[in-house]
Structure 1
Amino acid sequence: MPVLATLARVYVDDLDAALPTFVQLTGEEPRLRFAYRDLELASVGGYLLLAGSEEALAPYRGTHATTIVESVDQVLDLAERHGGKILDGPNDVPTGRNLTVRHPGGATIEYVQFHESARSVFA
């Protein structure tokens, strides 16, 4: 089950204010920028910036990273075989499908299987 990329999550209150710093830090422009529920998200370099109010961000703060994978179904199978707890999903999201898993030991990771068009930004 190939991992295509892992993004560090950064929670911010204003995406437009935060992006210039991360663009300069990484030397890259945002690869993706989209809205999801009450959040605005952008990926730049190895970061996934999530912006919103404290209330909107609260359900997501416990997730440690976002990992882009070939198959959410394979992650679901692996999690079930190794005692992981499915916290959310699988869901359809703007970029494809996602799944959030709390693994044994306590790591909570969001896994995303991109639609083909979104996947090309990480090729």
Structure 2
Amino acid sequence: MKIKKILTRLYVHDINTSIDFYKKLLNQDCDLIVKYSEMQLELAQIGNILILSGTDEALKPFRDTSATFLVDSVIEFREFLLQNGAVIVRDLKKVPTGMNLTVKHLDGTIIEYVEHKNSNA
């Protein structure tokens, strides 16, 4: 069980403007751009930033999520989290990048756990 990377989440309406800005700010290329049609969102990752873009309505269910943890095994983390008092907000689900799970930790913080398909993320 390993957390590979922690991503700070930003919620925006114009993904292209945000991508351009954060590429310049961080002096890094965009690592990932994904359309998540089912949720009417677009996502981009630049370094340790995850940009979620959509309408206010599309973003509303996700705004309370503080961060995304990229992990080696979302199933192992699910078991660990449940055994340690976390509450499932959104259970295991296949997503465009692999599989995810969103939980509320004991302190009330909501975190998304993601295991990428290629698991090299």
In structure 2, C-alpha distance between the alignment counterparts of 1:27 and 1:39, rounded to whole Å:
25
Q: CA deviation digits over 1:16-64, x for unaligned, max 9?
A: 1111110011111110100112000000011000000000000000000
How far apart, CA to CA, are the structure 2 residues paired with 1:82 and 1:89? 16
Q: Match of 2:41?
A: 39
Determine if the alignment matches structure 1 residue 26 to structure 2 residue 30.
Answer: no
Structure 1 residue 7 corresponds to structure 2 residue 22:
no
Task: Provide the secondary structure at the position in 1 that maps to 2:65.
Answer: coil
Q: CA deviation at 1:83?
A: 1.0
Q: How many equivalent pairs are there?
A: 119
Give structure 2 stretches of 5+ with no counterpart: none
Amino acid at match of 1:112: V
Aligned mate of 2:110, from 108, 111, 115:
108
**Percent identity at matched positions?**
37
Task: State the 1:79 CA deviation.
Answer: 1.3
TM-score (norm 2): 0.95
Unaligned stretches of 5+ residues in structure 1:
none
1: CA distance, partners of 2:9 / 2:44: 10
**Secondary structure at the residue paired with 1:64?**
strand
State the 1:100 CA deviation.
0.2
Q: Shift of residue 89 of structure 1?
A: 1.9
Give the TM-score, by structure 1 length: 0.93
Structure 1 runs, 4 residues or longer, greater than 6 Å off: none
Give the 5 Å matches for 1:56-71.
56-71=58-73
